[in-house]
Amino acid sequence: MLDLFLSAFITLFVVIDPPGCAPIYAGLVKGASHRQALTMAVRACVIAMLILVVFALFGENLLGALHIELNSFRIAGGIMLFVIAMDMVFEKRTQRREERADKIRATPEIEDVSVFPMAMPMIAGPGSIATIMLLTQRAQGTTETLVVLAALAAVMLLTLAALAAAGPLMKLLGTRVEAVITRLLGVLLAALAAQYVIDGLKAVLASA
């Protein structure tokens, strides 16, 4: 059981990539208070966990009932991530944040990024959904399924810790360094988004 846990944990950790999600999250919640950022981080992880658990237990039947292929998630998720990446690269998001700054003085509410894009598709994206479905399909019996879900819970706790620490770390780096990192991450995110779309199209063409 330990081997199964470690195998599932490592696989999910690599796919979800908590260290990679953290700086992107820090860029998305710039201007939010520490409490607001932490609340959104908790909400994002809880929602992502629920999504992945649902797909782990009922994913194959759900997609089959809706006549939706998993490759559709790859393509749609890639397109959504590409839009976010373009905003990061060309600083359109920065302009919107400055416009929201005046509104924040009157109300503590800011744009909630916990559901989109953090919970879905950043954390519970096409890759993690496909991975958790594959792991649970390979699991034999209830005990092994629970071990896989325990590995998922451990990865989600690490993801929450990474998101919670992202904001203070980015503040220490300074505005200029943060801007450079944000643009660089935007380029990397665009490449990741393109890869999602390419993988989805390749799979569709291969099955045609």
CA distances, 201 to each of 16, 73, 76, 79, 149 (Å): 21, 11, 11, 12, 30
DSSP H/E element including 194: helix 175-207
Tens digit of pLDDT at every position of the chain (208 positions): 889 999 899 989 878 888 878 878 887 887 788 888 899 999 999 999 999 999 999 877 887 787 877 788 678 777 877 887 787 787 665 555 445 444 444 545 567 888 988 998 889 987 888 889 888 878 888 999 999 999 999 999 999 999 998 877 666 666 666 677 678 877 877 887 888 789 889 988 888 6
pTM: 0.70
At 90, is the secondary structure helix, strand, or coil? coil
Which residues of the chain form beta strands (DSSP E)? Answer: none
Count: domains in the chain: 1
> Which residue stretches of 116-174 are H helix?
126-138, 141-173
**pLDDT number for residue 24:** 81
Torsion of CA 92, 180, 123, 16, to 10 degrees: 160
Q: What is the pLDDT of residue 89?
A: 80
Q: Which two structure tokens, joined as six digits, stand for 191?
A: 């490449």
Q: What letter represents residue 151's amino acid? A: A
Q: How far apart are CA 20 and CA 13, in angstroms?
A: 11
Contact (CB, 8 A) for 147 and 4: yes
What was the pLDDT predicted at 105?
A: 42
Which residue segment(s) compose the domain that 71 sits in? 2-207
Contact 163, 41 (CB under 8 A): yes
Residue with tokens 């373009």: 86
Q: Yes or no: say if 16 and 152 are a contact pair by the CB < 8 Å rule.
A: no
Sequence-ordered list of residues with C-beta below 8 angstroms from that of 48, at least 6 positions apart, any chain: 118, 119, 120, 123, 124, 128, 156, 159
Residue among 5, 16, 27 at smallest CA distance from 180? 27
- Structural contact between residues 77 and 121, judged by C-beta atoms closer than 8 angstroms: yes
Confidence at residue 84, expressed as pLDDT on a 0 to 100 scale: 74
What does the block give as tokens for 192? 């990741």
127 vs 36: CA distance, rounded Å: 28
pLDDT score, position 94 = 52
Cα separation, 17 vs 122, in Å, equals 9
Measured from the Cβ of residue 108, the count of other Cβ atoms closer than 10 Å reads 10
